[in-house]
A and B are shown apart, each in its own frame.
Chain A
Amino acid sequence: MAEHATDLLEVDGISLSFSGVKALDGVTFSVREGEVFAVIGPNGAGKSSLFNCISGVYRPQAGSVRFGGDELIGLKPHRVARKGIARTFQNVEVFPAMTVQENLLLARDGFMKAGPLSCMVRIGRSAREEREAVVAVQRYAEMLRIDHLLSAPVGSLPHGTQKRIELARALAMEPRLILLDEPVAGMNHDETSEMGEAIRTVNREVGVAILLVEHDMTMVMGISDRVCALDFGQRIALGTPAEVARDALVVNAYLGGAL
């Protein structure tokens, strides 16, 4: 499975410890082109550490992370982003003082190829770049039904909407992989199913692969192609949602061995 021909992201035996405490212990899995892949696990299982290793925030002591065949370990976070990996954060990290459109424009790849002075006078290359960026941003905003809010400052909008804006911003980068860190954290039932729907739509219409970390099991099982379960930094199961849900180790990890 790890050597699948269309593997986009290959996480191979990564280990990370913080002053002796093992956060990740030889975790291996791979995400295929265009699939929705979920990582589940109880609190402290190492899910966030895993994300931070992929996005370049942490540097694991062992193992490798390859994306489209290129090694990511050692790259700074902005370099990882430029390789085509977008991400959202557990606590929505939008830029509250900016409008929805500005948030999305910011993420455009190659948005800053023209120099700062030519951007000021808005001629030639920078004017063309901006027109193209505005059109693309409009498209992603429509996909996530925030196009009517483009000129609103993000800080004034409700939490659920901000989460969709963050997802739209990730899309605006036109990445090959989006990392979603607990996309439905703090959401009620309706917002959760709406978000699940949005993730599916994005995956279907754009064909971008999605790697998500989530607590909400119903959501994960409903939208994922494959699921990987972590416990104490180790992979304890990997398979289709149905397979993982039946796995004795997973049940045990979630219910603390009470059964």
Chain B
Amino acid sequence: MTLFLQLGFQGIALGMVYALIALGFVIMTKGSNTFNFAHGEFVAVGAYVVLALMPHLPYWLAFLGSIVVTVALALLVEATLLRRLLDKGLTTVVLATLGVSIMVHALILMVWGVGTKGSAGPVGSGTVEVGGVVLPLSGIATIVASVIVLAALLVFFRRTPYGLALRATASHQEAALAQGIDIGRMFALSWAIAAVLAVVASIFLASFPRVVSPSIALVALAAIPAVVIGGMDSLIGAVVGGLIVGLIQVLGAGYLADYGGGKLHEVLPYVLMLLVLVVRPYGLFGSRGIERV
């Protein structure tokens, strides 16, 4: 039972990280009709920049600096590439993001090398014991910070003009234009929000026991099964999908370590994703219309 609680806690913490990344995917998909395969690399850039700034600045400034850099990168890609390709069709745009992803990955290797680095998390490797269950501080920080970010996002979408305008753009672009909404700005805003979420996710993805390494982008892409399971156009779906993927991975790693060379848990989210695609292609919370994407 203790093991289950411990794994469950870690699974929820990891799931929240996936939820933040998955939300970025969904917000970009809804806001600008694209699926951005470079998003995993945005997460990696976030972690590397925090790590690079940490020795020179207080942690929170390193974090803000990373947000500035990552948002700038996202806006650059959106404005120079995506906005120009929009009328060329979804496949073109998606392939372009794949190209960007490979370029950013190469750039990271050029600047920081192929080796693994230290942790980029806000708290160290400490633990607390609650009723016999050992909880790492990094997990607690992950859950607390993610809940705060999710609440802020909820307020943003429900209660601010920008949130409303983004929802309107996602709902019907022509009608949004008729309200005087500059949908180009909304595309950019959705990418900027996704980039901010990527940086928040990155510091927790690179928290104890994990570290910053070039493969962090690949780990971040486990948010893709989360998006598919939850539904491509559902914000709630992204959070639920993220938690499901986090829990399966951690519980799988704990209980199935003796099978498949201890690698089985990495496959499980994708098995579930394929199952969802066959049985319920629009995901648990998605709308049916999204199937054609």
Contacts and interface: CB of A to CB of B under 8 A. Distances in A.
A200 B159 CA distance: 33
A114 B162 CA distance: 10
Interface stretch (B87-95, B177-185, B250-258): B177-185
Interface in B138-187: 152, 155-156, 159-162, 164-165, 167-168, 171-172, 174-175, 177-183
Interface in A88-106: 89, 93-98, 102, 105-106
A55 B175 CA distance: 11
B161 A89 contact: no
A173 interface: yes
Contacts of B189: 116
A93 B172 contact: yes
Given A97-B171, A120-B155, A106 B164 contact: yes
Contact of B160 (A78, A94, A119, A173): A119
B182 to A, nearest CB: 5
Contact of B162 (A82, A87, A105, A112): A112
Contact of A76 (B152, B160, B177): B177
Nearest to A56: B177
A111 B164 CA distance: 11
A86 B164 CA distance: 18
A235 interface: no
Contacts of A78: 177-183
**Chain A interface, >50% SS class:** loop
A169 interface: yes
A81 B167 contact: no
A89 B159 CA distance: 26
A77 interface: yes
A169 B155 contact: no
A211 interface: no
Contacts of B156: 116, 120
B179 A81 contact: yes
A57 interface: yes
Contacts of A247: none
A78 B189 CA distance: 17
Contact of B165 (A106, A109, A120, A173): A106
Contacts of A220: none
Given A93-B172, A97-B171, A98-B168, A105 B180 contact: no
Given A78-B183, A119-B162, A120-B160, A98 B178 contact: no
A16 interface: no
A101 B156 CA distance: 17
Contacts of A107: 179-180
Contacts of A87: 178
B168 A106 contact: yes
Interface of B: 152, 155-156, 159-162, 164-165, 167-168, 171-172, 174-175, 177-183, 189
Given A76-B182, A106-B161, 8 more contacts: A77-B174, A81-B178, A97-B171, A98-B164, A112-B161, A112-B165, A119-B160, A169-B179
20 contacts: A55-B178, A76-B182, A77-B178, A78-B181, A78-B182, A89-B178, A94-B175, A95-B171, A95-B175, A97-B167, A102-B164, A106-B161, A106-B181, A107-B180, A116-B162, A119-B162, A120-B152, A120-B160, A126-B160, A169-B179
